[in-house]
Amino acid sequence: MMVLVQTFLVMNKKLLRCTLPFCLSFSLFADGELEQFEREASRSKPSSSQRSVRRESPADHRYDFGESVADEFADNAVLLGAVLLAAGGAQAAEVADQREDWSPMVPVARLDFGYQWAGEGISAWDVGGAVGRGLVAVGGRHTVFREEGEREDLKFSQAHAFYRMAILSHVELGLGFGAAWLNGAENETGFSFALPFRWWPVEWGGVEVRSVWTWFNSVRLSDIETAAMIRYKGAHLQAGYRWLEIEDDRGALNGFRVGIGLRY
């Protein structure tokens, strides 16, 4: 009788060893890729341990001179940045006054539609736009990601107020501050910073780079897109690549994107 009990226990242990990895692997891949991306983008970082308090030693005063020089350099850099921002804004206002209708630089209104291949079985469509005059504009973008075999879409929306700057008449740079929303199984809202760049060396073609960084629960989500543009009057075609990545390689929805749009 004891021999039968021992044999039964040994067989159960072997069975658990065989089935446990299978169950774990199944649980890891049960969720769709979009759901995993959403979970990683909104998951808070682990809190860092408190730093130990160190007593000040006489040797620390050796660095006082270097720190004062660094502080002075930082103050001058801030002042120079403010001057460049003012000069760029003034140039943008001048370009806006002299521009022709349907010009791609410092547009009064902009509307874009696009389609992206974001991975195996994942696609996305997006719509965006902006309105403004001179050095000030407001804009937004809404992207819907869809995964084959999953009922829940992942929606990523952005809204920013922009301070626009121009370098000569064919280079434009903006600073945008606003918010972003990630809606899937749950809803998340975070602060967002944008840095759009446009370069139109010729009337019929140019390059645009849209860079946006959003923080959900202290986790940074980077949204960077580069596109080559071909223009005819106010309409344009574009093709490029969009990177949507969570910091520390915790998730990504990257892929080629094509689109159409209007500038006025």
Q: What is the DSSP string of the chain?
A: -HHHHHHHHHHHHHHHHHHHHHHHHHHHSSS-HHHHHHHHHHSPPPPPPPPPP----GGGGGGHHHHHHHHHHHHHHHHHHHHHHHHHHHHHHHHHHHPPTT-SSS-SEEEEEEEEE-STTEEEEEEEEEEEETTEEEEEEEEEEEETT-S--EEEEEEEEEEEEEETTTEEEEEEEEEEEEESSSEEEEEEEE--EEEEEETTEEEEEEEEEEEETTEEEEEEEEEEEEEETTEEEEEEEEEEEEGGGTEE--EEEEEEEEE-
Task: Summarize the confidence of residues 86-93 as an average pLDDT.
Answer: 84
Question: What distance lies between CA 50 and its chain's CA centroid?
Answer: 30
Q: Which fold has domain 109-263?
A: Porin (2.40.160)
Specify the amino acid at residue 138: V
Compute the distance between CA of residue 39 and CA of residue 37 in angstroms, rounded to an integer.
5
Confidence (pLDDT) at 19: 42
Whether residue 71 is predicted with pLDDT greater than 80 in this model: the reply is no
Whether residue 4 is predicted with pLDDT greater than 80 in this model: the reply is no
User: With contact defined as beta carbons under 8 Å apart, do 128 and 107 qualify?
Assistant: no
* Domain locations in the chain as residue ranges: 109-263
Whether residue 140 is predicted with pLDDT greater than 90 in this model: the reply is yes
Instruction: Kindly indicate the confidence band of residue 184, based on its pLDDT and cuts at 50, 70 and 90.
Output: confident
Q: Could you tell me whether strands 136-147 and 197-202 are parallel, antiparallel, or unpaired per DSSP bridges?
A: unpaired
Whether residue 92 is predicted with pLDDT greater than 60 in this model: the reply is yes
Task: Summarize the confidence of residues 127-141 as an average pLDDT.
Answer: 95
Instruction: Kindly indicate the confidence band of residue 263, based on its pLDDT and cuts at 50, 70 and 90.
Output: very high
Average pLDDT, the chain: 81
Confidence (pLDDT) at 26: 38
Whether residue 15 is predicted with pLDDT greater than 90 in this model: the reply is no
Compute the distance between CA of residue 258 and CA of residue 183 in angstroms, rounded to an integer.
24
Q: Is the pTM of this model over 0.85?
A: no
Confidence (pLDDT) at 182: 95
Task: Summarize the confidence of residues 217-239 as an average pLDDT.
Answer: 95
Task: Summarize the confidence of residues 133-153 as an average pLDDT.
Answer: 93
Confidence (pLDDT) at 87: 80
Confidence (pLDDT) at 77: 64
